[in-house]
Amino acid sequence: MKHALFAGAVTLASAALAFGASAETITLGAAVSQSGKYSTNGMHTINGYNMAVELINARGGVKVGGKTYKLAVKYYDDESTPARGAELAERLIKQDGVKFLLGPYSSGLTKAIAPVTEKYGVPMVEANGASRSLFTNGYKYLFAVLSTSEQYLASSVALAAEMAKAEGRDPASLKVAGAFENDPFSQDIRAGVLDDAKKYGMQIVVDDKLPKNLSDMTPTMTKVKALKPDLFVVSGHSKGAATATRQMAEQNVYVPMVAMTHCDSADIIGKFGKAAEGILCAAQWAPSLTYRDDLFGSAADFAKAFKEKYGYAPPYQAAESAAAVEVFANAFERAGSLDQAKVRDALAATDMQTFYGNVKFDKTGKNIAKPMVLFQVQDGQLKVVAPTKWAEAKVVYPRKRN
Amino acid sequence: MDNILTNIELLTTLAPTINLELIANGLLVGAIFALIAYGMALVWGVMDIINVAQGAFVILGGYVSFYFVNAMAQVAPNTPGILWIVVSMPIAAAAVALFSLIVFKLVIERILDRDLFISLLATFGIELVMQQAMNQIFTAEERVIDAHLPTFAFLDYMVNIPGSRLLGAVLGIVAAVGIVALVRYSRFGRAIRATAQNPRAARIMGIDTNRVYAMTFALNGAICGIAGSIVAFVYVLHPFQGLVYTLRSFAIVILAGIGNIAGVIFAALGLGVYENYSGFVLGPEFQDGMVFIIVPITLLVRAWIMRRKRQYLK
């Protein structure tokens, strides 16, 4: 947290200086959570943005129509509340005269800010709002570099089907259990899983909604134990991942394949050790992937540089945030102008590879060029097991009994 | 709806043994809630203050315990973690009790004889400040203590009693019995009860009621500290997680009736079981709702009984 405050303060100061010093600066605005429940992930977001901005400036900045500009970000703290986020976006645009916005952290905040940027025709590249409902409103100025949420765990259904086939079983004979938090993000994930499970003809035996104030999953665990599914999918942010990992072990719940979101940010390996073994984790990005670009080099190079600078390994939230700045810089150069409509068109035409993955937007502004990654906890480490094209290890199936 | 029917079918015909698991786990969870609700009932009964910040105090105790256990694991890596967990409980209790005394001096003392609404507002404010402060200091990352305890399985793995929950319930009961004995048999406890019954009379008899209030509030802090260290190794710590415990203990105290200590324990155990069943049958999203629906129902039933009695007396 101190990091975030400090980083925020430094950038605010440097942004203010830049304002006074020269007109050769493109200022990007961002309302990101520095207090409230998203403050940890808000800090990852800010660090990702700062990392990219500083590196681009160190390399000479952005060339737009023969002129070179430095980048700067003006931050506000949205306090993890959507209404405050919308207010601050308005303030950035109208009072501070910011012409381009970077996204906040979380789908909820992005959903609050998008109508504002849309109203003023301000292009926004966001990296931390994955809800698919963001892309059904016909927004023209919203671009997202990350995969949308219904894709998060759908890949685990495909993987389960693949494993069943390898064993000579019909995928349609598989039983799926799911527990999803009652928020837009997790319910999107649920929709993705259910759609794919139906495609294979699998049977959904448990479909529980977890409350926001989750403290106990015992009833769900008891149900899963009684119904013996082949795949158990959990999505409840970090708290859900931690609670599910702990209670699965404590209640002796054994399912051959278990997939979750947020198990890296919940650090289930560090917290529970052996109990986490064999769990599959969905992620937007992994340092071991083979994507690369000219700015950061490979994904591993980014991870190394980030760790040197901020003292911790970058979670995907930081990586995708850095990628959003790269996409913006790329679009400025291609647009050859700082006219908002031209930059918007350049963004829409983006087709590039970054260290974070390929970026190409469809008409609704979501990135369709990058698949989700599935990790598995193997011997206390996260190993990429799917998609098979970038996999570094083979999936262990069925999961070992503790 | 289909889901609900399948769930009932599971309980009645397909796998009746899981009833035992639901009941056992409900009782164990209830024992932890009982401890927290007991503290709330104490403050409510003696000081006429509903402590909305109760849950935040619990979480604070959890963090104290978490950092202590982690520090000890660094200092003495070869000792069993369970030892430090038990040792951390009085430490968390003392820390939160001290913190409660400070809160008492700063805020509670000034609102003692104001109406209930003011005390709700004040403690709600304390909760907000505590949440954000914990968020800044401890970060929003989920924290847990892993007690590395085995799970006891019965009936072909259909009934499982996690060791951590069993330990939590046992420690919770030990603490509760100790505190009940303290209030019932010690001089300090007698002063608390006298003040609760009639503060004016207590003052005339030479009891420093303000001191009694301060000590009661600190005692509640100690209870929350102990409960927090149990929560840390049974559930998950998060700065904003306190509300769960505040609301549960509120429902329990209402259910038991204010001033009814034995009632608190039964209400808590019952609520734990009831909550597990409603989570199982209706789905976890209704678990909270099913807890709070108890509050108006209890109040209605109680009002109805009182009216009946008056009619009877007539």
Amino acid A214: pLDDT: 84
Amino acid A298: pLDDT: 92
> Which residues 143-172 on chain A approach chain B with CB closer than 8 angstroms?
none
Q: Where in chain A is the domain with CATH 3.40.50.2300?
A: 2-147+287-360, 151-283+372-390
Pick from B160, B236, B283: CB nearest A251: B160
Residue from B7, B141, B142 to probe the interface with A (highest A Cβ count within 10 Å): B142
A218 contacts in chain B (CB < 8 Å): 22, 25, 29, 276, 279
Contact with chain A for residue B139, Cβ under 8 A: yes
B276 contacts in chain A (CB < 8 Å): 218-219
B241 contacts in chain A (CB < 8 Å): 213, 215, 239
Amino acid B234: pLDDT: 92
Determine the distance in angstroms separating the CA of B238 from the nearest CA of chain A, rounded to an integer.
8
pLDDT tens string B265-291: 899 999 999 999 999 998 888 888 888
* Contact yes or no for B141 and A267 at CB 8 A: yes
What CATH topology corresponds to A151-283+372-390? Rossmann fold (3.40.50)
B14 contacts in chain A (CB < 8 Å): 226
Amino acid A9: pLDDT: 52
Rounded mean pLDDT of chain B? Answer: 89
Per DSSP, the residues of A16-77 read: HHHHHH-S-EEEEEEEE-SSSTTHHHHHHHHHHHHHHHHHHHHTT-EEETTEEEEEEEEEEE
> Reduced to 3 states, what is the DSSP secondary structure of residue B171?
helix
* Contact yes or no for B279 and A219 at CB 8 A: yes
pLDDT tens string B201-236: 999 999 999 999 999 999 999 999 999 999 999 999
Pick from A41, A211, A266: CB nearest B284: A211
B239 contacts in chain A (CB < 8 Å): 37
How far CA A311 is from CA of A4, A172, A305, A369, in Å, comes to 13, 47, 10, 31
B1 pLDDT more than 60: no
CB atoms within 10 A of CB B141: 17
**Distance in angstroms (rounded) separating the CA atoms of residues A134 and A149:** 10
Contact with chain A for residue B7, Cβ under 8 A: yes
B136 contacts in chain A (CB < 8 Å): 1, 35, 39
Q: Does domain A2-147+287-360 have CATH number 3.40.50.2300?
A: yes
How far CA A365 is from CA of A286, A326, A332, B117, in Å, comes to 23, 16, 17, 49
Determine the distance in angstroms separating the CA of A41 from the nearest CA of chain B, rounded to an integer.
9
Contact with chain B for residue A37, Cβ under 8 A: yes
Amino acid A3: pLDDT: 56
Contact with chain A for residue B12, Cβ under 8 A: no
Give the CA radius of gyration of chain B: 21
Amino acid B260: pLDDT: 78
Minimal Cα distance from A265: which residue of B? B141
**Distance in angstroms (rounded) separating the CA atoms of residues B205 and B199:** 10
Per-position pLDDT tens, chain A of length 402: 445 555 555 555 454 444 444 458 999 999 999 988 788 889 999 999 999 999 999 999 999 988 999 999 999 999 999 999 999 999 999 999 999 999 999 989 999 999 999 999 999 999 999 888 899 999 999 999 999 988 889 889 999 999 999 989 999 999 999 999 988 888 999 999 999 999 999 999 999 999 888 888 999 999 998 899 999 999 988 889 999 999 999 888 999 999 999 888 788 898 888 889 999 999 889 888 888 899 999 999 999 999 999 999 898 899 999 999 999 999 999 999 999 999 999 999 999 999 999 999 999 999 999 988 899 999 998 899 987 777 888 999 888 876
pLDDT tens string B51-108: 999 999 999 999 999 999 999 988 888 888 788 999 999 999 999 999 999 999 999 9
B3 pLDDT more than 80: no
B246 contacts in chain A (CB < 8 Å): none
pLDDT tens string B135-148: 889 988 889 888 88
Residue from A218, A247, A264 to probe the interface with B (highest B Cβ count within 10 Å): A218
B140 contacts in chain A (CB < 8 Å): 37-41
Q: Calculate ∠ Cα B51-B56-B62, nearest 5°.
A: 130
Residue from B285, B286, B291, B292 to probe the interface with A (highest A Cβ count within 10 Å): B285
A285-297: buried (b, 16+ CB within 10 Å) or exposed (e) per residue? bbbbbebbbebbe
3-state helix, strand, coil in chain B (%, to 5): 80, 5, 15
**Distance in angstroms (rounded) separating the CA atoms of residues A364 and A139:** 7
B20 contacts in chain A (CB < 8 Å): none
Determine the distance in angstroms separating the CA of B285 from the nearest CA of chain A, rounded to an integer.
5
* Contact yes or no for A213 and B241 at CB 8 A: yes
State pTM to two decimals: 0.81
| Domains of chain B (ranges, CATH numbers) | 22-313 (1.10.3470)
CB atoms within 10 A of CB A307: 13
* Contact yes or no for B162 and A251 at CB 8 A: yes
| ipTM value greater than 0.90 | no
CB atoms within 10 A of CB A274: 13
pLDDT tens string B4-57: 878 887 777 777 788 888 999 999 999 999 999 999 999 998 998 999 999 999
CA nearest neighbour of B59 among B253, B272, B244, B217: B244
Interchain CB contacts (distance < 8 Å): A and B: 117
**Quick one: CA dihedral A51, A54, A58, A62, positive or negative?**
positive
